[in-house]
Amino acid sequence: MKTGVIGGGALGLLWAGRLAGGGLDVTVITRTEAQAERLRNKGLVFTGLDGEESLVDVRAKAISADPAGDPFDVLLVTVKQRHLPGLIDRLSPMSHEQSALVFFQNGWGHDREIRRLGAKAHTFAAVTTEGALRTGPNRVHHTGSGQTWVGPFPHEGEGEPSWLDAWIERVSAIDPEVKIHREHDIRSRMWEKLVINCAINAPTAILEIPNGDLLHERHAPLLRAVVEEAVRVAEAIGVRLDANRMLEKVVNVCRNTSGNRSSMLQDLMRGEPTEIDWINGTVVRLGERMGMDTPVNRQLVDRIREKERHLKA
């Protein structure tokens, strides 16, 4: 069973390292030929939760390479949401009619891009709480154990490939720390992750602090306001969440990843655009559509965009 991992960032390298290290046939599909060549020649240096390094052999090729060859049975799409529009048309040559395409994007709104593949494509969304840090083009550090949920998205699962459960069972058997669950209500999981990202990513990126610093009591009113706005918008579009429970989840994530820098902060530190439009921007955009004001999330969006403008100056 051939697995392709599209994206050579932290999450892509994390999954590639874990799967290839467990004996699966894995190919990493990178944005640049330079990264692909390094992975082919040097291998993937994988640092586990215990701090131990291991060298994992992986196949690798650049996304621009000739897609000819055997298609993949499973494609894990781990690129950032802003890269999806330019990627979607490349996915069909990499897959066959029974392939499962699993999208790991953090935000909301990418259903429009996925629908371009057509209703016959077997597409899924994945929500994960795993933590990872890319420390080099062929190096990744697993920074936090978590769980992953996979469910049909945006179509509601008609004609799902029957062997997907077998693939999940095999992956789960590789390592007891790898926990993958089938989720039929993946939209709720995605919104839970979105609310958590709204509360953590933008504030840490604006303040330039690690996640754990948000636990200081002076940030409590901001966290609650962000969460309550996002939950109200979710409920307006039919996704029921509990604000108090979501706030507890935010606090737990901050506590469990206290030393981590959020992905949005890392983007700004690298001088790259953020995913603000698909995270807090989703709350603002859907709020407007539903006639709801979301001033706290709007302010966070404005401040992140200001930081992005300064990067370009």
Tens digit of each residue's pLDDT (9 = 90 or more) over 49-86: 899 999 999 999 999 886 656 789 999 999 998 889 88
Domain end residue (candidates: 184, 206, 239):
184
Domain match, 235 and 180 both: no
pLDDT of residue 246: 98
State whether 222 and 164 are in the same domain. no
- Do 33 and 176 sit in the same domain of this protein? yes
- The pLDDT value given to residue 120: 67
Q: Do 145 and 197 sit in the same domain of this protein?
A: no
pTM, to two decimals: 0.89
Residues 90 and 177 in one domain: yes
- The enclosing H or E element of 297 equals helix 295-312
Q: Any bridge partners for residue 134, and if so which?
A: 140
Intervals of the chain under pLDDT 70: 66-69, 119-120, 156-163, 175-176, 312-313
Indicate the residue among 132, 164, 184 that finishes a domain: 184
Q: What is the pLDDT of residue 297?
A: 98
CB within 8 Å of 72: residues ≥ 6 apart: 2, 3, 4, 27, 94, 95, 99
Based on the fold, state whether residues 124 and 229 are members of the same structural domain: no
**Residue 5 phi, psi dihedral angles, 5° rounding:** -115, 110
Give the end-to-end CA distance of the chain in Å, rounded to a whole number: 47
Whole-number Å distance between alpha carbons of 309 and 127: 30
Q: Report pLDDT digits (tens) over 248-302.
A: 999 999 998 888 889 899 999 999 999 999 999 999 999 999 999 999 999 999 9
- The pLDDT of residue 166 is 76
In this structure, what DSSP letter does residue 262 have? P
Which domain covers residue 295, as residue numbers?
A: 188-312
By C-alpha distance, which of 219, 214, 198 is closest to 276?
Answer: 198
Q: Which amino acid, residue 201? A: N
The reply to whether 115 and 151 lie within a common domain is yes
Domain boundary among 184, 213, 229: 184
Q: Is the peptide bond before 154 cis (omega within 30 degrees of 0)?
A: yes
Residues 100 and 273 sit within 8 Å (Cβ to Cβ): no
> What's the confidence (pLDDT) of residue 162?
59
Do residues 163 and 264 share a domain?
no
| Domain co-membership, 206 together with 167 | no
Query: Residue 159 has what pLDDT?
Result: 53
Q: How far apart are CA 266 and CA 274, in angstroms?
A: 9
| Tokens describing residue 268 | 């700004």
Tokens matching residue 290: 């539903």
Give the β-pairing of 25-30 and 44-47: unpaired
Q: What is the CATH number of the domain that holds 141?
A: 3.40.50.720
141 exposure class (CB count in 10 Å sphere: 0-12, 13-18, 19+): buried
CATH number for the domain harbouring residue 209: 1.10.1040.10
Are 9 and 128 contained in the same domain? yes
Question: What values do phi and psi take at 244, rounded to 5?
Answer: -65, -40
pLDDT at 188: 94
- 185 CB-side CA count, 13 A: 8
CB count within 10 Å of CB 267 equals 22
How far from 261 is each of 46, 59, 186, 281, CA to CA, in Å?
A: 19, 29, 26, 20
- Helix (H) / strand (E) containing 134: strand 131-136
- The span from the CA of 100 to the CA of 292, in Å, is 37
- Angle of CA points 144, 178, 77, to nearest 5°: 85
Find out whether 136 and 53 touch, Cβ atoms under 8 Å.
Answer: no
Residues 6+ apart with CB under 8 A from 266: none
Amino acid identity, position 164:
L
Q: Scanning the structure block, which residue is given the tokens 């839970």?
A: 192
* One domain for residues 161 and 226: no
Q: What is the pLDDT of residue 182?
A: 83
pLDDT of res. 295: 98
Looking at the structure, do residues 175 and 204 belong to the same domain, yes or no? no
Say how many domains are in the chain. 2
